[in-house]
Structure 1
């Protein structure tokens, strides 16, 4: 199927051949009939893409600050690489889609195959959309009108926040698509409306919809006109639907209002507020969030958990339905807003139109072909990219590598590293399909797919790299092992003891039935060059050592998936395992005890385990302390390791600066750029799969580290110390001394 994407680096538009997205639980698979280009949003994306480096920096000053912070901690070269990688990721465009339901996912109710639906799906021939971002279209509303539902819902949510009543007067600043629809919604509320814009055609449209207007291009004073319009009292409210960098709208809006008037920001404008304008009249100011309650809430949008109607009357889906009802009733007329129609084959011409090169435009529709003879091609889940990679096995190249998951870490770190070591990249799969294609093209994979199972069935694949969300790691690892594939799974290996048992069972079964597979977890830090140096310095010292690992982890929201026990495992299981493994490697001895403490008002309830101290005991008498803290400052090194042993000290800052005290002539080992060992770990894995080297990490250590990390979280919650026998089985748990 075909999908519209845009380069962030150049702004160019492409109609790409993309695998059909997978149907997931709680979602609908929809064949597109038409979609609407959101001129304001998509024009801004085009302008950003076409801007040079300086222009991009000016448009996103907050990102510039993040880049400077990253240079300070990680070095210049890794930062430039990260920025270039981000700009090299094309964006899927569009969020105003109308189509016909092809399939209904598990758990979805109220929809059937063949239903016409409006959704926030992309500009693509087939889209997969969560059920709460869709709404069934009444028979009396045609596809072209329904394509405006999402944009109209943005205007409707702004109107809801303004709380208009019959007979009130309102100003709408900015008469683009959302502004024109907002005028109509306010008129449907029985309000008098004053529309403000520079464009004569848009002003004429607003007048047709019942508004009075102010032409800013004539030099008219909008505040004076608004006062006259309101009979000298000031308007009841202002909705700002404009898109401009100017501060004029936000400064003029409160001046137009009566005492205790309302200003609602729907668009994007400068926000240099004058406090006195709001303070003296006690004017309220609210920012409207997209389509309404539920937007950006993963529980609502992705997991399908609706808000009870008795407590949240208007969600984004119910706003969609309300707009469709207004259209069916003739209260919203969008036919006059349509200025252009383009078949999807001419999408480039459509974007030239919104870029201002082909005259005035407003509503631009993309139309998708409905040729039934091509239905099978639309639903194709795998596309070929680089045929030469498929012939690698015959030419004696390295084993075929497949990726399941193409998220940020996979595409920024793992994929380029596997390519750097010369691995034969056979397949990349992601449920959405688009990220698989984009990264498949970039890194020269043979095929890209949205069908995860096809990876395990592919005879060209010898090893699978699992880079998905944490809750899927154990299950996908088991599937790969049962399919006789070697496995490189990003940490964590498992989220709980049951998953860990399943992985071990699948591994043992694979060993009995076939050649022993390589099972590797992405504990890259033990492969870092400076860590290797520390290991070599400590190995001759046959005395107990003290390790202090300080992790300045940085805060992430409490409702982020990584914080949740069922999806991410929490931050200790999800990321803290790295540091348990690092200390296990440097000590060279099994862990025989673990205890941990959290702090914070909700520590015992384990809402967030991102502020924890873990103490490890090793069988040789060494001790390790891991301070995993999310309440630090970004300017401090993210990771600092200190080792105290036999009158000597080693200190490693952020995998860039290693300093030694008491080690004779060896005093330091500094790097120009951060090296956390990713290249070395990938090479070790590929060599092991090729039979050139043993397993990079013994299976017993992978199991030990995973189990100890889980027990650390449990110990922090219960206050116990967990002791282990030689087989890393929990010997006993005892209550820590007060």
Structure 2
């Protein structure tokens, strides 16, 4: 779209705090390995999912809390451990993050990422990309559109696959009888798919208009708005035998649809929940008939599996016949064969520039069904691809000068938004550019914190003479690369832990030649906490060895989370426990000479053991430090505790909120109202060093030493685990 001679990269965003829908101008994403970059031709607004998100956003805080009681409990636990103020700020920040709407898209491939086969530039494809001019989608969430299938019908493919996956779980056979409860977009598509399977279908809904569409598609109907009895209708429909199965595609808080489904079914009937309902189940409903009940997960096998979606590892067709991508292809084949007709489901069409009006129609409820958004195909594609940077305010023309800290940040995730930037803004640094891979987070964080611009082109940002300081807050496997590039570009560098994930990366960084007064620092913030500084002052008065114990109630993170992936996050020892190794190194004030580590024994079904470990550190002065890093505790217990024993005295730090001293002259207690892990002091120390041309607040030798120690720890753990496995199979 051209506006006053400039190209605009439109994307629809939803604010979960206010419920406002926005057409935002975002930078064009960069194509990554295993992904496609697609220019959108049209997309479908999901009447169910997207209406639910809009309504949730418009609800007040109390109503939001009622809808998510599990999250409320998490908030209460966080208040107990971290305090009220930081918890409320975290909740507000989380709700303020924009949500990219949309997931059923048609477009043309513009770029093909490394490792992608079967797609070429110019292919017409469907994807689960959002409502945006250009989308960036993993290859397994895309499929090529057969010739003869028009864009409008193809645009429903991803939504239709939700219904198809529910049908696959129900496993219908020729001649069986099925009830579809809820005749929204997915429900009406499900009716057609069941009819294509040779099944008789009974549709139930409150909307007479949707019921008539279902009837035109070959279903018998039950008009709930007229008080018609769905149980009696199902009994008649099934000739008194009970239906073979029920697919629930409705969206309601009530458990009544499940209860009714159980009464409609014959013995050993099947119930599949595709939509959203209450789940207060009656054992008697299911026990007497031996009914099966299953919840369908989105588009099919592979959904939410990072190995499949992000890393592109397909499931063998001989073992998993219908993945989400193969479900997409099945829908497209049915459209090509004329066995599925979706034009009748389109009720509204809008250009992308009128998307806000489309969502107003969506909010009206019954008057809308399939809403199509069209995108202008006459715009300058190359201009869109080149639009990697979006100005947020007037940019300074001159280069960054000595005595200034003009900041560029790579990474716009939760840590950057909630922790780093609030602390950084209290320094004398100026915020110039923030980079993110997809563009949406960079735009939001950039606007929220007052950056000059946001970009998806990190190379251009690193080369920008207006920036002299780079912060790296991306996923851990990219830290070493960005550190190298930023140092070579002559920038000061602050990298959030860890510095790197392996010895080759560490060696490459150690081989870098930093310029005089050029700073490279890792975000070991705990050594800057006023509690830790006070402990250090007290301990420096004692000249004999210390015994330090740090207990970390780390909390469970699923094995599938990226931080647990050795190739991406490095595991939790490298990714987080490095903090605690550095904290003890700082308190002792002497080099680490030896490390040992032990993990808990492996238990059946437990994939990760590295996050349940005890680490022992020996120091040059004879001090002994132990880090108990445990992910198998309860989240209501405080996360971090440090105890130091030396010279007949003890220091006890509880969760960076309270420090107690036993046997110290003139010191017994230090307490703050809220937790302070040192982020503000860390940012000030780093920025002041940049401004004053002084040395790094953390000596580079200590950063390398702590990184070496953590690599040693992880190598010990993994070597022992490998030896254990070899012994098992010997």
User: Equivalents in 1 of 2:506, 2:485: separation in Å?
Assistant: 14
User: Equivalents in 2 of 1:320, 1:422: separation in Å?
Assistant: 52
Match of 1:2?
A: 10
Contact 1:293-1:315 within 8 A present in 2 as well: yes
Contact 1:405-1:467 within 8 A present in 2 as well: yes
Match of 2:620?
A: 619
Alignment of 1:537-616 (within 5 A): 537-601=538-602, 607-616=608-617
**Structure 1, gaps ≥5 residues long:** 721-738
Bigger mean CA offset, 665-674 vs 163-172: 665-674
Match of 2:196?
A: 188
Contact 1:684-1:693 within 8 A present in 2 as well: no
User: Equivalents in 1 of 2:219, 2:482: separation in Å?
Assistant: 58
User: Equivalents in 1 of 2:538, 2:593: separation in Å?
Assistant: 23
Contact 1:152-1:323 within 8 A present in 2 as well: yes
Match of 2:668?
A: 667
Match of 1:465?
A: 471
Deviations 1:42-80 (A, max 9, x none): 111111111111111111111101100100000000001
User: Equivalents in 2 of 1:325, 1:41: separation in Å?
Assistant: 25
Are 1:255 and 2:263 matched, yes or no? yes
Contact 2:399-2:467 within 8 A present in 1 as well: no
Alignment of 1:20-59 (within 5 A): 20-59=28-67
Q: By how many angstroms is 1:423 displaced? A: 1.3
Contact 2:658-2:669 within 8 A present in 1 as well: yes
Are 1:167 and 2:162 matched, yes or no? no
Q: By how many angstroms is 1:18 displaced? A: 0.3
Provide closer, same or farther for how the CA distance between residues 237 and 400 of structure 1 changes in structure 2, counting only shifts above 3 A: same
Are 1:408 and 2:414 matched, yes or no? yes
Contact 1:648-1:663 within 8 A present in 2 as well: yes
Q: By how many angstroms is 1:593 displaced? A: 1.1
Q: By how many angstroms is 1:328 displaced? A: 1.1
Secondary structure of the corresponding residue to residue 510 of structure 1: coil
2:254 to 219, 241, 246: 246
User: Equivalents in 1 of 2:603, 2:473: separation in Å?
Assistant: 31
Match of 1:91?
A: 99
Q: By how many angstroms is 1:567 displaced? A: 1.2
Alignment of 1:139-158 (within 5 A): 139-158=147-166
Bigger mean CA offset, 695-704 vs 447-456: 447-456
Q: By how many angstroms is 1:646 displaced? A: 1.1
- Scaled by the length of structure 1, the TM-score of the pair is 0.94
1:504 to 510, 518, 543: 510
Secondary structure of the corresponding residue to residue 387 of structure 1: coil
Q: By how many angstroms is 1:388 displaced? A: 5.1
Secondary structure of the corresponding residue to residue 135 of structure 1: strand
Contact 2:405-2:428 within 8 A present in 1 as well: no
Match of 2:74?
A: 66
User: Equivalents in 2 of 1:334, 1:397: separation in Å?
Assistant: 63
User: Equivalents in 2 of 1:582, 1:635: separation in Å?
Assistant: 23
Are 1:384 and 2:388 matched, yes or no? no
1:485 to 483, 491, 494: 491
Contact 1:173-1:196 within 8 A present in 2 as well: yes
Q: By how many angstroms is 1:600 displaced? A: 2.5
1:217 to 225, 247, 255: 225
2:378 to 360, 371, 375: 371
Match of 1:446?
A: 452
Secondary structure of the corresponding residue to residue 641 of structure 1: strand
User: Equivalents in 1 of 2:235, 2:396: separation in Å?
Assistant: 70
Are 1:526 and 2:533 matched, yes or no? no
User: Equivalents in 2 of 1:567, 1:373: separation in Å?
Assistant: 36
User: Equivalents in 1 of 2:229, 2:38: separation in Å?
Assistant: 48
Match of 1:423?
A: 429
Deviations 1:416-444 (A, max 9, x none): 22122131111111111111111111111
- Scaled by the length of structure 2, the TM-score of the pair is 0.96
Match of 1:640?
A: 641
Match of 2:727?
A: none
**Structure 2, gaps ≥5 residues long:** 1-8, 722-730
Provide closer, same or farther for how the CA distance between residues 45 and 616 of structure 1 changes in structure 2, counting only shifts above 3 A: same
Secondary structure of the corresponding residue to residue 617 of structure 1: strand
User: Equivalents in 2 of 1:390, 1:277: separation in Å?
Assistant: 72
Q: By how many angstroms is 1:114 displaced? A: 1.0
Contact 1:392-1:398 within 8 A present in 2 as well: no
Match of 1:285?
A: 293
Contact 2:602-2:609 within 8 A present in 1 as well: no
Provide closer, same or farther for how the CA distance between residues 40 and 528 of structure 1 changes in structure 2, counting only shifts above 3 A: same
Q: By how many angstroms is 1:393 displaced? A: 4.3
Match of 2:702?
A: 701
Q: By how many angstroms is 1:691 displaced? A: 2.2
User: Equivalents in 2 of 1:656, 1:78: separation in Å?
Assistant: 12
Are 1:687 and 2:688 matched, yes or no? yes
Q: By how many angstroms is 1:397 displaced? A: 7.6
Contact 2:395-2:453 within 8 A present in 1 as well: no
Secondary structure of the corresponding residue to residue 413 of structure 1: helix
Match of 2:235?
A: 227
Contact 1:293-1:314 within 8 A present in 2 as well: yes
Contact 1:73-1:637 within 8 A present in 2 as well: yes
Match of 2:728?
A: none
Contact 2:128-2:142 within 8 A present in 1 as well: yes
Secondary structure of the corresponding residue to residue 285 of structure 2: helix
Secondary structure of the corresponding residue to residue 99 of structure 1: strand
* Root mean square deviation of aligned Cα: 1.6
Q: By how many angstroms is 1:516 displaced? A: 3.6
Provide closer, same or farther for how the CA distance between residues 339 and 77 of structure 1 changes in structure 2, counting only shifts above 3 A: same
